[in-house]
Structures are given as C-alpha cells and as structure tokens.
Amino acid sequence: MLHFSNSLTRLVGELKKLPGVGEKSALRLAFHLLKHPDNIDALAESLTLVRERVRFCSVCFAITEEDPCWICSGERDASTLCVVEEPQDILAIEKSRAFRGRYHVMQGALSPLSGVTPAELRIAELMKRLEGGEVREVLIATNFSVEGEATALFLTKLIKPLSIRVTRLAHGIPIGSDLEYVDAATVQRAVEGRSEL
Amino acid sequence: MLHFSNSLTRLVGELKKLPGVGEKSALRLAFHLLKHPDNIDALAESLTLVRERVRFCSVCFAITEEDPCWICSGERDASTLCVVEEPQDILAIEKSRAFRGRYHVMQGALSPLSGVTPAELRIAELMKRLEGGEVREVLIATNFSVEGEATALFLTKLIKPLSIRVTRLAHGIPIGSDLEYVDAATVQRAVEGRSEL
C-alpha cells in the first residue's frame, strides 16, 4: 500500500486472511469500501453483532443466537439424528425438506494429515447424546470426500455396537443430469441402488 | 440463512455488497469468520480505523491519513502532474519508479452511459491546480479503456489551450511478451512508436 495509509494497509491485511482473497482482491475490496463509507460502517457493525450474539448450540453445535438452537429446542423428531460436518450443511438438508429429525455438527471431518483427530471433532458429545437412548437412527451426512468418508466409517464403527441404526445419504444421479456426463462411479452406485417403479 | 441467526444473515448481506462476492461466497466468508473469532475482531477494528482515519487528499484526491498527502506535501517535482482515474493507479506508477512528479486523481472516468459526466470527476479541481502556472506537463495516465481514452481526450482539449504540454503513457509491447501473442493493434502502436538503438 506504499505510504497511502497505515489503517488501509491493515484493512488489506485483514481482508487477505479471508478464504479466496489474495493481495489483489483485498486491495480491490478495500478501495471499493473506501468509495462506499456507509458500507464500511454497516460491515463493521454486523461483524461486531455476530461476534457478540452468535455462538454454537451446546447440544448440536450448530450456529445459533439462543442456546439451545431452534432445532434442538423445537418439536423435531428426536429419534433420528443427522450428523454433518459444518453448520452450513444443515442448510442444505433443511432446504430439501426431506429430514425432520435433529442434527449434530461435527465441526470438521477426520483428516490426520491436517492434524484433525477424533479429539478435535464433536464425537464425545455425539456419543453422550446417543447414550440417552432416545436416538434410534443416525444418518451420516458428512461430505463424500476422503475425509468425510473416513469420518463416516469411523462413526459407524463407534455407533453400531450401541444397536443404533446407522445410515448414509444415497449416492446416485443428480436430478436433471445428462447420463452421458455423469462419472462412471456415480452411475455404478446408481445402478446398485436402483429402485422399483 | 434459515433460522440460524439474524446477525449472521445481516453479515452475509453486507459481505454480498462487496464486488465479486455473491450469495455463496458471502456465506463461505461468514462461516470462515465464525471459525476465526479473532479475525472478526481484527477486521471490524480495521474497518472502523479506516473509516475514522482515511480521507481524500484535498489537493490531489488520493487516499491519505494526513491532509495534504505525503506526495503533495513532499519534495516532488511540481512541474509535472500525472492524472489517474483512481488512487490505486498511483501505486502502479510509483512502483515503476519512472515518475517523480505529482498526481491528480480524477476519481473515475467519463462514462455518459453510467451517468459519469465531467461534473462527477475532479476536473474543476485539476483546472484550478493548473491555473497556478507551476505545472508545465500533464501526463494523462487514465486507463486504456473507452472511458479512459474519452477522459484523456476531454482533458487534452481543456488543457492544451493553457499552453501546458499534455502527454499520454506509451502504447507498446509489454516487457517479456512473445510477439506472436501480442494483439495487432498493440504491435501497430509499437511499430509507430519505435525508438533508435
């Protein structure tokens, strides 16, 4: 930032910490903000608000302003528990309107290479919830990445001995897909999981 | 954001106002920030600092914390004035170390279609500076876009009658380019502007 302004240099430094924002984008964002001073105020204020009000739900570890969150304190089916990696995964499942149970956010996925061991995840808290005896099915909705699959396998091995049903989201052809563009592994899973019409 | 948190929804709304940030990226940035609460504080603080301290230089309209800015108040050659569109353009020219004069930031370029007329730009302020009689050359470094070229032409017509030299950055082959990949118009300008070895 040369000698323009120390506070601008500092802002650019903070913006650069955001994912997908490099030096050039950070500069562009900073100069954009300078041209829209009202946006600076509103952004600073909303950051402070988030910092003050948003916390993790002490039951499911989703994001919430009231603890427990609206799902945990609501009338949702307590016998099915959907395990996700991150709070935003809940959004994806809620949008589908296909699940009426409760959630448990792992806050990550197992990744020994990046130093994420079971202790870093909310596994102990999950096992504690399952001890209650109310949950009869755990739907594992971790991502279909190496880390997500490893986490799913790890959880399955932990939960099965408790005589709780463990399920996983189905693989298959995405809605609206052209078959010719779908990868072979997905088609294979779709054939294996075919359903009666 | 469903029912997660109103303040998070608001933060996403503010992030979405940034250039190049859509709904998905805003969500991703917000969740990233939630995972790094220290960054939220630092970002909010740096925004507030920028808002409090950064202003436009009253002479050249660059960004500064002290008015006039370090270039206007410094020992720079006052007889050459480089006209740029935005403060960040000064950075590009300063990095080249080829210019030792002063600057004037237009804060935009003429664009009748977007409603940017001469009145929106710092043209009156530029003419006032030129009245002083100290400036003997104006180097126009607006962008080589339609708007930048139109602004350059407009300024040339205004400044020439004052018997001040008006110059423009040279067109030519960028350093390190493969000739075969350079567009024909650029090569044409490079031939026209060829220099003696």
> What are the pLDDT digits (tens) for B132-178?
899 999 999 999 999 999 999 999 999 999 999 999 998 888 888 88
- Measured between CB atoms, does B10 come within 8 Å of chain A? yes
**Nearest CB partner across the interface for A46, out of B4, B14, B90:** B14
Closest alpha carbon within chain A to B2: A91
Q: Name the A residues in 66-95 with CB < 8 Å from any B CB.
A: 69-70, 86-88, 90-91, 94
How many residues are given for chain A? Answer: 197
Question: Which pairing describes strands B137-140 and B80-84: parallel, antiparallel, or unpaired?
Answer: parallel
Looking at the fold, whether A28 and A105 belong to one and the same domain comes out as no
The least confident of A89-93, B105-109, B120-124 is A89-93
Which residue in the block uniquely carries the two structure tokens 């930031």?
Answer: B105
Looking at the fold, whether B158 and B82 belong to one and the same domain comes out as yes
**What pLDDT digit, counting tens, does each position of A100-139 carry?**
999 999 999 999 889 999 999 999 999 999 998 999 999 9
What's the pLDDT at A189? Answer: 85
Residues of B in contact with A27 (CB under 8 A): 88
CB contact under 8 A, A14 and B86: no
Contact B87, B62 (CB under 8 A): yes
User: For chain B, what is the radius of gyration of the CA atoms?
Assistant: 22
pLDDT at B63 over 80: yes
Contacts 24+ apart (CB under 8 A), A33-38: A33/B18, A33/B47, A33/B50, A34/A8, A34/B50, A34/B54, A34/B63, A34/B87, A36/B17, A37/B51
How many Å from the N-terminal Cα to the C-terminal Cα in chain B? Answer: 64
Q: Where are the beta strands (DSSP E) in chain A?
A: 55-56, 63-64, 77-84, 101-105, 137-140, 165-168
Contact B150, B158 (CB under 8 A): no
Is residue B81 domain-resident? yes
Mutate to test the interface with A, among B3, B25, B47, B75 (most CBs of A within 10 A): B47
What's the pLDDT at A10? Answer: 93
The least confident of A155-159, B3-7, B104-108 is B3-7
**Nearest CB partner across the interface for A39, out of B6, B17, B33:** B17
CATH code where residue A164 lies: 3.40.1360.10
The encoded tokens of residue A89 equal 């995964």
Nearest to A124 by CA among A185, A61, A75: A61
CATH code where residue B48 lies: 1.10.8.420
What's the pLDDT at B121? Answer: 95
Is residue A83 domain-resident? yes
Looking at the fold, whether A95 and A161 belong to one and the same domain comes out as yes
* pLDDT bracket for residue B35 (50, 70, 90): confident
What's the pLDDT at B3? Answer: 66
- Measured between CB atoms, does B14 come within 8 Å of chain A? yes
- Measured between CB atoms, does A191 come within 8 Å of chain B? no
pLDDT at B1 over 60: no
Which domain does B93 fall in, by range? 77-168
Q: What residue type is A150 in one-letter code?
A: A
The encoded tokens of residue B144 equal 């080589």
User: How many structural domains are present in chain B?
Assistant: 2
- Measured between CB atoms, does B105 come within 8 Å of chain A? no
- Measured between CB atoms, does B44 come within 8 Å of chain A? yes
What's the pLDDT at A1? Answer: 47
